[in-house]
Every structure is written in C-alpha cells, then in structure tokens.
Amino acid sequence: MFRSATFKLTMWYLALVMAISLIFSAVLYHVTTGELDRGLSSESSRISRQFPVFRDDPLLRPGQDYNNGAHRILLRLIGFNIIVFVAAGAASYWLARRTLLPIEEAHEQQKRFTADVSHELRTPLTALKMESEVALMNTKNSKQALRTTLASNLEEVTKLEDLINSLLRLTRLEAGDLEQQFEPLNSRTVAGEAAEQVAKQAAGRDITIAQDVKPAELIGDRASLTQLLVILLDNAIKYSPNGSTVRLTGRANDQTVSFEIADRGTGIEREALEHIFDRFYRGRQNGSRNKTAAEGYGLGLSIAKMIADLHRGAITVSSQAGQGTTATVTLPLALGHKAD
C-alpha cells in the first residue's frame, strides 16, 4: 500500500516540478529568441547603414542566424529539462518517502496495537467461555463449584474492565486535552494521595511505603500525576519481596521537582530496560517476574510515560537484576516557585 502511495506521490511531485520547469523553459525560450531576433535585426540594419558595401553581402543572414541560434537555445533547454527530470525524480522519491514514513510507521504501530489488543482481549474471553462451558456441561456441579466458577469469571471480567479502562485512558491522553485541566499542585500532596491508593495492596504483603517528599509547587493535572505515581508504586510493590520497603522520595531544585520510587525487588534485566515503555510489553525480570507480570497488560508504564510527557517532564528507570529498581519522574516547577 505505501509502496504504491510513494510512487504516486513521487509522480505528483515530479509532475509539479516538471510543469514549473517546462513553463520556465518556454518563457525563457520565448524571451531569449525574441531578444536574439531583435539583436540580429538591429545589428544587420546597423551594418547595412554604416557599411553600404555589405548591404547585399550573403554573410548577413539574420533569418538563418536566428534559426540556428533558436535551435541551439532549444537544445540547451531540452538538456536542462532532462537534468531537471532526473534530479527531480530522485528528490521527489526521497521527499515522498520522508513524507510517508511517519504515516507508515504510525500505521504499522496501529496495526501492532490492534493485534495486541485483540490478543489481550481474547485471553480472558477464552477463559470465560471455557469455564462457563465446563460448568454447563457438568449438570452435577455443586453449589460451591458454581460459586467458584462465577468467582473466576468475575475475576476475568475485572481484568477485562482494567484493560478497557487503560485503553480509554490512553485514548484520552493521546487526545492532548489534558493541559486544560492543569492547576497548581503540591508535590507532597500528590505523593501522599498516590501512597494512600496503594496502601491496602502494600499492607497485604507487609510492604512499607517510606515517604520523604519535600513540598514544592508544580502545575499539572492532579488525577493524572497521582495515577503516574500509583503506577510506579504498584510496580514496585508487585515485584518486591514480602516484608520489604518501597521508598518514595521527592526533591526540588531551581527548575524541576523529582520523584523517586525505589524498591529492592527482582530488578529488570538490561535488555528489557529499553522496551519497558512499549505498550503491551511484559519482559522477563530476573526470571521470576514472568508469573507476576501476567497479572497486568503491559500498559502501565506506557501510560506513565505519556502522562510525564504531557506535563513536559520525563521518566527514567534504572535497575539491576536481583538488586531492585528505581524509577525517577522529573517535572517542571510552577513558574515563580523556588525550591526550599
């Protein structure tokens, strides 16, 4: 599809350039031959007036000289247009590829995204269908067995709901209207709300969230920034050993405020680090992480990065397998605010 589009766009570019070149050549030919005709006629008349002896000399042939000169001009213009055609063809193809390449990449990314979504939706739907069919086929199922099946189905429905909510969140973020909801925020307040949202999850595994966030004012969307920190805290808790500590710190300098979420969990292998912000990527982390990673859909860090980008900030992750992971979010301070 894009090969054909590239060819068509190249032809349009080339046709436009050649049309301009041919029009320019026609005008140039008309002007130069007109000047040549006037020049030859004027010079022939001048010679005839000043030197009557040459009046009937066969050397004075303005008509033939004009034809020869016009022919040479035409040949040079044809050669010029051949060069323009070759150069414009190469330039048109390069420009067409450069124009269509981002569209092609976006199209391929959309195809992969659609395929990934279809795959992720198929997994819980298949589980729902299989468990329901098994329950219906066995007419002697006990009440407890049916309750177990319903509970399992409800769990799959919850996973589907989480996936759909994540996809809707990505769509809203990609719409680019988040900035309309920006307001002054206190970094300590945002961090506290995020820690509160994951407190139950942390308590369930006896994990302590140690907060040390210095207050600083920034501009942003409260719900989105809180969600960003929740995503990072959720990952830190999910991959930390029971009874460990996840540290949430915040510091401000003259221009930015930085949040750090550090854990002492399984860590991330080096080859996986460059892909962790890819949608639906769930890499192997120190071997044991695969099983836990299956609980998610690989969208959390993609959403976190998009939130940071929309706030003109950045998010980085450093990690060593078996020693833990540190995620750092850097956001601009509110104008006029000075760090304590």
Quote the pTM value.
0.59
Strand 245-252 versus strand 208-213 pairing type: parallel
Q: What pLDDT shows up at residue 290?
A: 40
At 140 the pLDDT is: 74
Q: What is the pLDDT of residue 113?
A: 65
- Side-chain half-sphere CA neighbours of 298 within 13 A: 19
Angle at 319 (CA atoms; ends 261, 259), nearest 5 degrees: 20
Q: What values do phi and psi take at 298, rounded to 5?
A: 75, 25
Domains annotated on the chain, with CATH: 2-108 (no CATH), 111-175 (1.10.287.130), 178-332 (3.30.565.10)
Comparing C-alpha atoms, which of 213, 190, 216, 199 is closest to residue 307?
A: 190
Q: Mean pLDDT by 10-residue block, N- to C-terminus, for the chain (340 residues)?
A: 82 91 91 83 71 56 75 90 92 88 76 68 76 78 79 77 71 67 89 91 91 90 88 90 92 88 86 77 46 55 86 89 88 65
Report the pLDDT value the prediction gives residue 335, as an integer from 0 to 100.
65
The two three-digit tokens of residue 135, written as one number: 């329950």
Q: What is the pLDDT of residue 9?
A: 86
Per-residue pLDDT, 188: 92
